[in-house]
Every structure is written in structure tokens, then in C-alpha cells.
Structure 1
Amino acid sequence: MLWVMQRKQKVLILLCFFLTLTSIVLRYSYHESSSMYYLNILHGWSDSTLPNKPCACEHCVSEAHTSPWFDERFNHSIRPLMSENTVLSEDTYIWWQMLQRAKDPANLTAVMKELFNIIPSKEMYLDWGASRCRKCAVIGNSGNLKGSSYGSQIDLNDFVFRMNRAITAGYEKDVGSKTTHHFMYPESAKHLQANTSLVLIPFKTLDLQWLVSALTTGNITQTYTRVLAKITASKDKILIINPTFFKYVDDNWLENRGGYPSTGFMTLIFAMHICDELNVYGFGANSEGNWHHYWENIGGGAFRQTGVHDGDYEYNITRTLSSIGKINFFKGT
């Protein structure tokens, strides 16, 4: 009888141990679950929006929940490029036509139909995902590139974005030789190599008409100033910035400072929307405080305030993006 009682005692002790252990585990699990629940509420996350790395790079520019300042401004749902299916809201259309005070614009639907019969009609670069690591370089035209020796590292990027009248011949050591995308508007247009995508920033319906003309008849030679009648560019590589995206950059990022975003700033925000890792060169003044193009021998601040862009504000945003780890910023010389 004694051994039976001892065995029952052992069973009771083991049972109490397992009950206590189960209670501890349940309390811990509840605490962890509650903590995550309240963390999700705090950040506005749901089960389907918990923070996951959006790309395969070490740092992803579009990653959310890393900076409230960035999250308030960055909207990945805004389509950067036009396609044949693009529809502008009335508010956006009026804002866009007023940028350069366009008078009696042509019918946009008809112009777009003609344009997208010549160039690709589908929107590009919607392939983002956890398996992609697209590294890009945005090359501004600042004189701080002269003597920088950045050329070889610039050319290592998957995409290299240049703008307006930027040149590479003779400056390859500092600015590189690779150009995958060249951003321009009619008044800053230049001829491109066959392997380079022309990215048009349109300010009005006439700019779209100019592109049609420049690729075909060459009958438009004047906008608000003289423009190239024809351009050399691959028709199957032409892209058009969406006016909705243009307005988004002005509203969300610049808070409507200045007349409208500069080409450099538009290119930078565009790159953040289609790239995963972003390297930025040629923005701001050189070490002597001069704001000028790297191919020009002039100093001063002529390109700091153009009358339509707030250069200081745009530059400060660029530095903020660098300080929060969204871009790699190279100061030059």
C-alpha cells in the first residue's frame, strides 16, 4: 500500500508541474500576442500589411515603417508613367495646363491616341517584388562632379538616369559613360543613342504634340521658345511622365514650393518609385559654393534659384532622404 501512495504522490507532483508550465506558456503567448496586436494598432498595420522587405537589396528605398516623414510623402500606388489608359482628374488636368499657361490646348484624348500609336502603349516598371534588386544612379549636372572620379562606380548601376543637356563625352572618368534613361522636356531636348530611353516630362498637351512631330513630320519648331524639329531616339524606348505623378511630386514632396519641380528632382522621385537601391550624384553646389554645370566654367549661384524652382528646398529634401537611409548621396568635389 505504501508504494501505491508514493506513486500517486509522484503523479500528482508531475501533474502540478505540467499545469504550472502550461499556465506560464499561455500567459507568455497571450502577452506576446497582445504586444504585437497593440504594435500593429500603433503603426496602422494589419495581418496583410506587416512590414516585409519589399526587395532583395540590403536596403530597399520603398520599405515602409522606417521613417514617418517618408511614409507621409511616399505613395507607391501613384503611377509614374502614362499609358494609353491614363485618365487625368479635372483637378490634375487644370493644374498641368497652367504650369506654362497653355492656351486653347488640343484635345488630350486625341493627342494621346496619336502618340501611343507611335510609342509603346503599356506602362513599364511594374515588376517590383521581394526577389528584385534594381540598383540605380541619378546623375545631376552639378559642377561638383568635376574631378570626382565617380565614373566607374556610376556605370555599375543597372539603370543610370541623366537629364536635360547632360553630356558624357570627355567627362567619363567623373560622370561615367552609361545612360539607360534620359529625362527631358521639349525645350531641353537632345539626340539620344539607340539604347537609351527618352523620358519626356510634359508640361502641357503641346509637349505631347511636339513629341509626335519630332518623331514624324517635324512640323512643330516652337513652343514658348524654339525647339528641335526632329530628334534621334528609339520609338520603342520612349516613356512619358504621368501628369498625375508630376502633381504628386509637387504636392507631397515639395508642398507646392516654387512653380513646379525641377527635372532633377522629378528624376529623383521617379527613381525612388521604380528602383530598389538608389545612388545620387551631382546635386547641390561644389566645395566652393558654386552652382553650375560640370561641363561649364562658370561660378556663382545662377542655377540655385531659377525663378520656377526652389533649389534650396529640393536640395534639403535630398539631404533628408540621405540622412534617413533612403538614398546614398555622393557630394562630389
Structure 2
Amino acid sequence: MDCLQAWPEPVVRVQSLSESGAHTIPARYIKPPNDRPSPTTMSDSNVRIPVVDLSADPEHAVQAVASACREWGFFQVVNHGVDPALMRRARDVWRGFFHEPMEVKQPYANSPKTYEGYGSRLGIKKGALLDWGDYYYLHVRPASLRSQKKWPALPSSLRPTTDEYTQELVKLCRQLMQVLSTGLGIKEGRLHEAFGGEEDGACLRVNFYPKCPQPDLTLGLSPHSDPGGMTVLLVDDHVKGLQVRKADAWVTVQPVPNSFIINIADQIEVLSNGVYKSVEHRVMVSSTAERLSMAFFYNPRSDIPLAPIAELITSERPALYQTMTYDDYRLYIRKNGPKGKTQVESLKTVQN
């Protein structure tokens, strides 16, 4: 872990670049031509990720979620039980943090050792191309990692609001895990059990994408699949930015008010033996509007072996992935930053 003690070069806050008034972006943020957002790579705007009503008939909800996880790896949930007023407060306090003076934010600067705190890059490769965004990463579970002293003290309501919000999302994730298990044809508590039961993990990454003078040259977040178990994303309803890969096209997500965007991450792909898919996604930026998103990552306990669940292994569908721990797995993204689906693909026992 020695290589993860410090960033390889001084960290530049993207928000500072945005507010400098410059009309061009530094070369380190310019993506290769094939990786830039372009109208020619976007799919038909009428194609949308599924929307699931969690208050609907339970059997219908299970079928809808299972279908979305097999075909898309993404879906939106409405009527999910989390108070919309709490969702708005959570967004407001974190937007308030990013608009605090730099002398308030900088003491929370993070390192690549744990990523907890105020950050502006992923990966430790010197001279790497960077994404147009800042973030704040904090631990929620397990209790041994959770320390509100590492959460921002300003705005003054941030800590209690974030605490209430994340507790509600733990409940929602555990409910969704039951739905996901039932959709796989296994007992409803099986995925939660594979995550370590009450020793499951969770963290929150608040992403801030400032205005960009050349949004056609860069990305807020490069294509990647999430390394953990499941992600619950809260986005600004009025600013689109998230794109999901579907076949060879990028689908721009149309946010539904008061919804959460759910996506399957790599560990559930592994545990489901590839039945549920983690899917690449990326974030576009805008020249006219800033964007904030709150990604809640629900993860397995970090030190237990993870492999396809035994009930999902048959002679016709043998185990498709090697065993590993989440500790080993997430070290990859900390070293390399977002790199598509290269990590989960490397675990496959048979390469296509």
C-alpha cells in the first residue's frame, strides 16, 4: 500500500479551473477523439432505462427489477420509501459544501490510501488524463471506519442530514437485495448473507461537476463499471449528464423526479454468476450548468472471499469468475482509476 500514500503530483481543483474564467481547458482534461462525447455516439433519445415502481405488486416489482438487471444493469426506482424532502436536503447541504471557500474545503483533502475526503482525481499514475470533476468520499459502514469528524463541518446541517440520508439508503439497499435474490431464484436473504450480513459495507461519493468551457473535449467521469455491489444514485433532476452503455451506443439517462438510479456493480455480477450485469457508464459535463450527484455504494464486507453463489452454479453454467476479496478488488481502481470493465473481465475463468 506504500504506493497509495500520496498523489503523484499536486492536486488541482476542477472547480477552481472552472471559476477562473478560462475559455479553454488544460490538456490533461482533453480526452482522445474516440473517447469524447459526440452526437454520433448517442443513442435514440426515446430509448430509456427501465423505471420500476417499488410500491407495485411485489411479484411484478421482482420481475421488473430482474429483467432490468439482466438487460440493462441499470434502472430507476420510484415510490421507494425515502422522503423526497430528505433527498432535497441532502443535495442542498452538499451543494453548499462545494460552494464554501477553498480554505473551508481544503483541510479535508484526501489521499489515495483511503480516498476519504475532498478529492479531484482517481488513480495514481503520474501524468494521467483527468476527469472534469471534484468529489467528496466518506465511509458509512462498517462502524469501525465511520467517523463523522472526517465529514465536513460546514454547512452546519451537513453531518446530521447525511447521517439520516445514508441510514435510509442502507434500508433501501437491503430491500433491493431481497428483490434481487428473489429474481435469481434463491432465498431472499442470500445476497445479503454473501455480503457479510450485518457486516456489510457502504460509502458515499458526492460528485461535483463544475461548468466546463469545452464540454465536447472532456468527461466528468470516464467510462467504468462500479467496483462494489450496488449503487444508488441521486442526481439533479434538471441537469442530464449520466450515460449508460447499451451495446455499442451511449444512452443518456432521463432523470425521473424524486427517483433513485440503481445500477448493478461488479460484485453482484460475480455473485450472480453473470446473470446480473454491471454496465459501463460515464458522465458528460455542461458549459451552462453545474451538476451534483450523490452515489451511495452498497458493498460486501471487504475481507471475505467472493465468488459465484453455489446455488447458481450448474454443469451447464459453471462458475464464471475466480474468487477474490473486495479489498483486493478495489485496490485496482485506486491505482488505475476508471478503466471500463477491465477488472471484472480479468476475473473470468474463461475469456471470450
Provide TM-score, normalisation by structure 1: 0.29
More helix by share: 1
The structure with more radius of gyration: 1
Provide TM-score, normalisation by structure 2: 0.27
More strand by share: 2
